[in-house]
Structures are given as structure tokens and as C-alpha cells.
Amino acid sequence: MKFHGGTCENIYGELLDYEIIQHENNLSTECRLERRTVHIQKWILSTIIFTYLAALIGIHKKDSSLLLFLSIILLAGVLIKAYLKVKRECVIVGNQIGLQLTTTYVIGRQTTTFISSNRIKDILINEGFVSQRLIYYLTLMINDSDKSMLPLFVKLLPRLSLLKIFYRHLYSAIHESK
Amino acid sequence: MPTAPSPSPRPERAVIGFFLYVTSIFTFAIYVLWAYLPNDWFEKIGITYYPHKYWSIAIAVLVLTLLIGVIVGNYLLNNLSIPPLDSISLIHDRHTRKPQDLISSETDAIPPVSDLDLSFVNQVLYSSHTK
């Protein structure tokens, strides 16, 4: 079982950890991309700023029903963010079986997409638009009539240097059986 | 191949541009005069049928809001028309030219211009080129 890992950057500048694992005599390749979920500096800075602003407005002098309402809104916001924020994306390719993309969220929820190997045409690094930027992303070409592209790692969006490494491993994993 | 509309200068465009330039300066001068001169001066000259002075402020506010709206609207329209990451139009659309393999490779002629296959480009750029 070969293991190969490191740290790379996101398109937004956040640090991501990656691991590439080859299981069982190269019968399956796994590419894992993980985000460190709590940025200590950003969290401390925003806590200090918002506490100062709240004390300036005088929220601690208002009655407790307003404070309860605000804290419920804050809690709901935190829960929604934890539900939607991606912690890890993992692509596993099995020799002649197919490709599976697993997305793990901060709360623990996991969503899985599996493409069997007869539907896979190719894997590519393509360029696309995300929020007025042109980015590189890894995408899988599928033989279906209705859905022909499956973009991988779109929630974490690593930069091109990592995509090249993933591309080399995943390309050889997909095409060695064909 | 049909010719695309081009923004190059032409004589009709020069005439229209000059007309718009003179008209806009003239309209702006009339607007400033109407907005600032008191109503008695208009009565003395003999002009009695002109819009209420409320519209001088209303037109100015409308023009400014239109300016902000056009800039914001253009930005939002651009955001709406970009294709999503999983659309096939990022790989090939109605303007791509597929290579025609009917022409045999025996002749020395230069083959017509066509778009390269994207997986071939990826192999050359991002991995060891195996073909």
C-alpha cells in the first residue's frame, strides 16, 4: 500500500491536506482532499470585532428576550454553515469497477456518487468560471446522454499544482484497464 | 462563414455620432437653463407652456439611478450567462471545428484548421505524453 501526501492551497488561499493512497497492489487508487475546518485567526478576530460592536450598541443592556432571539439566529446560522461546509472530498477508483466521489461535511453527513467503469469515458482538467474567476477543475467525462460531465473536487477547489498530481494518478488508474 | 458584426468605424457611424454629440450638448444646455431660471423670466419672454419644475429634480435622480442600475445589472447579467461547471459547452459548443478525417494524409497539403481534442491536450500538458 503506497502512500503519498502533503499540503497544498485552495483557490481562496486556504490550506488543504491531500493524500494519495494506492491499495492492494495498485488495484485501487484513492485521492483524498481535506480542509482544516477552524481558522483560529479569522475566528478570534471576528469574535473580538463583533463583541466590541455589540457592546458599543449596548446589547447587554437590552432585555433578555431580544438576546434570546439573537442567540437563536446565531445558532441557526452556525448549524446551517456546518451542514453545508465541506470537510473532505475523496475520490476512489477501483480497477474495472468504477469511480466513487464521497463528500464529507463538517457535521458528519456524507454524500456519495458512484460512476461504474463502463460509463466512464475520460478524466480531464478543464477550465471554468466560478464567481467571476477562471479556475481549473478536474472533471470526469461520462457516456450518458443526459449528464456528460461530473466535476470532481468542486467544493474545495484546489489549485493547478495539486490537480496535475491527481490527474496523473487518476488517469493511469482509469485507463490502465481499458 | 458569415461575417460577425464588427465595431470598426464607418461613415454612417461618424455622422450619427456627431449628431448625438451636438444634440446631447444642446439638450443639456436647455435643461440647465430651464432648471435654474426663475419662472417670471419665462413669462416675460412669452413661454408659458413648460414642464413643472419638480421634473428638473426627478429627471436628475432618474438618470443617476439608471446609471447605477445599468452597472449593477450588467454585472448580474454576466453572472447569469456564464455556464455552470458541469455544462458540456465548456468542452465543445456550436463554434468548435471537428477535424475532418476524410482528407487522407498522403498529400503534402496543410490540413484545415480544427480544434484539438481536449483529452489529447490534457495528456500533453499535464502528464507524460504517451501517444
Q: What is the dihedral angle through the alpha carbons of B111, B117, B121, B124, rounded to the nearest 10 degrees?
A: -70
User: Which of these, A134, A167, A151, lies nearest to B87 by C-alpha position?
Assistant: A151
Chain A closest-CA separation from residue B67 CA (Å): 22
Rounded distance between C-alpha atoms, residue A32 and residue A88, angstroms: 7
Domains of chain A: 2-35+86-176 (2.30.29), 40-83 (no CATH)
pLDDT in tens, A57-97: 887 778 888 888 888 998 898 888 888 889 999 999 988 88
Percent of chain B with pLDDT over 70: 92
Q: Do A150 and B86 touch (CB under 8 A)?
A: yes
Handedness of CA A157, A158, A161, A166 (dihedral sign): negative
Which ipTM value was assigned to this complex? 0.71
Question: Is A144 a residue whose pLDDT tops 90?
Answer: no
Length of chain B: 131
B85 near A CB under 8 A? yes
User: Which of these, A87, A93, A142, A152, lies nearest to A118 by C-alpha position?
Assistant: A142
Angle value at C-alpha B75, between B95 and B55, nearest 5 degrees: 130
pLDDT for position A178: 65
> In this complex, how many residue pairs, one in chain A and one in chain B, have their CB atoms less than 8 Å apart?
49
Chain B closest-CA separation from residue A155 CA (Å): 11
* Average pLDDT rounded to a whole number, residues A118-143: 91
Cα Rg of chain A (Å, integer): 21
Q: State the DSSP string of B69-98.
A: HHHHHHHHHHHHHSPPTT-GGGT--TT--P
- Winning range, highest mean pLDDT, from A111-115, A130-134, A143-147: A111-115
Q: Which residues of A fall within a CB distance of 8 Å from B118?
A: 124, 126
Closest residue to B122, CB basis, from A124, A128, A132: A124
> What is the CB neighbour count within 10 angstroms for residue A152?
20
Asked if residues A12 and A157 have their Cβ atoms less than 8 Å apart, the reply is: yes
Closest residue to B119, CB basis, from A122, A130, A164: A122
pLDDT for position B65: 97
pLDDT for position B103: 62
Chain B closest-CA separation from residue A93 CA (Å): 18
Burial grade of A172 (CB within 10 A; 0-12, 13-18, 19 or more): middle
pLDDT in tens, B107-130: 777 878 888 888 889 988 888 655
Q: Report pTM.
A: 0.74
Question: Is A169 a residue whose pLDDT tops 80?
Answer: yes
Per-residue confidence band for B26, with pLDDT thresholds at 50, 70 and 90: very high
* Average pLDDT rounded to a whole number, residues B87-115: 80
First and final CA of chain B: distance in angstroms? Answer: 34
pLDDT for position A19: 92
Question: Is A3 a residue whose pLDDT tops 80?
Answer: yes
Asked if residues A105 and A84 have their Cβ atoms less than 8 Å apart, the reply is: yes
Question: Is A5 a residue whose pLDDT tops 60?
Answer: yes
The overall average pLDDT reported for chain B is 88
Give the start-to-end residue ranges of the domains of chain B.
11-50, 52-82, 88-127
pLDDT for position B130: 57
Q: Which residues of A fall within a CB distance of 8 Å from B79?
A: 132
pLDDT for position B129: 59
pLDDT for position A20: 92
pLDDT for position A115: 92
Question: Is B131 a residue whose pLDDT tops 70?
Answer: no
pLDDT in tens, A17-54: 999 998 877 788 899 999 887 777 787 888 889 888 88
Percent of chain A with pLDDT over 90: 38
Higher pLDDT, A41 or A141: A141
